[in-house]
């Protein structure tokens, strides 16, 4: 299945802003992160289709996965 992965802030450095990836059925967010080579400790916020999610959550075809390091503001 095909998913869209969006990276933000420091996670973009030496990687990409947005990419489309072919992944196996039954993949989780954790699988995506390990394919891209992101340290799990650098992930503070994870969204599937704009909804906060967990590393162990399964993904579906056409999902958008947004990954953020620790960030804040106001």
Measured in degrees and rounded to the nearest 5, phi and psi for residue 69 equal -80, 180
Which of 37/73 has CB closer to other proteins?
Answer: 73
CB of 49 to other proteins, least distance (A): 6
Binding-site ranges for other proteins (CB under 8 A): 6, 8-10, 12, 17, 44-45, 47, 49-52, 66, 68-74
Bridge partners (DSSP) listed for residue 45: 68
Which helix (H) or strand (E) segment holds residue 21: the answer is strand 18-22
| Minimal distance, residue 18 CB to other proteins, in Å | 9
Is 55 exposed, middle or buried (CB count within 10 Å of its CB: 0-12, 13-18, 19+)?
middle
Q: Which residue has the tokens 């992101």?
A: 38
* Shortest separation between residue 39's beta carbon and other proteins, angstroms: 12
CB nearer other proteins, residue 15 or residue 26: 15
């Amino acid at each position: 299945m095909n998913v869209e992965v969006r990276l933000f802030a420091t996670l973009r450095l030496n990687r990409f802003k947005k990419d489309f990836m072919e992944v196996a059925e039954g993949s989780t967010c954790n699988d995506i992160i390990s394919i891209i080579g992101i340290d799990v400790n650098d992930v503070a916020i994870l969204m599937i289709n704009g909804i906060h999610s967990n590393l162990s959550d399964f993904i579906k075809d056409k999902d958008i996965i947004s990954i953020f390091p620790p960030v804040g503001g106001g």
